[in-house]
Amino acid sequence: MSLQPGDALTSHNFGLQIDGVMVEYLQEVNGLDMTQDVIEYQQVSANGQPVTKKMPGVKKAGEATVVRGMTQSTAFNDWINASVRGDMGSARKNASILVMDYMNNPVKRYHLRQAWCSKVSASTVKAGEASALTETVTITYEEMIME
């Protein structure tokens, strides 16, 4: 890792891998989260005092939203199309959001297991507008592992 002690990651350099292949550099990522149920129970201690305990429960699946520049990335488009068609045998992939340092070395990964696209929205197309077109894609996943 090329970060020096005290350096923090910046939020401007990240991308998406699908099955280990980098397919897109992204404009924005939202909603990367990991949620787990909390089980609360009560018992009596050895000296007769009531004690409330908490322990981890079931992990929950999640959703993340990515915004990308509208490109002709065939790998990403094929993945979206397989999901929309309901071809879950092809659509469910292991994906990773990679955060890179200023030298483009990956320093943090969010692995999304059994991920597929559940929604796609294109940005507004307007005559005379001089802005890049984007697509917002919702990625549904069964488990997220941070590395």
Spatial distance between the Cα atoms of 20 and 33, rounded to a whole number of angstroms = 21
Return the domain boundaries, the chain.
14-146
Q: 84 Cβ partners below 8 Å, 6+ apart? A: 117, 120
Mean pLDDT by 10 residues, the chain (147 residues): 64 83 85 92 94 94 91 84 91 92 84 95 88 91 93
DSSP symbol at 12: S
Record the pTM: 0.81
Q: Which CATH class is domain 14-146?
A: mainly beta
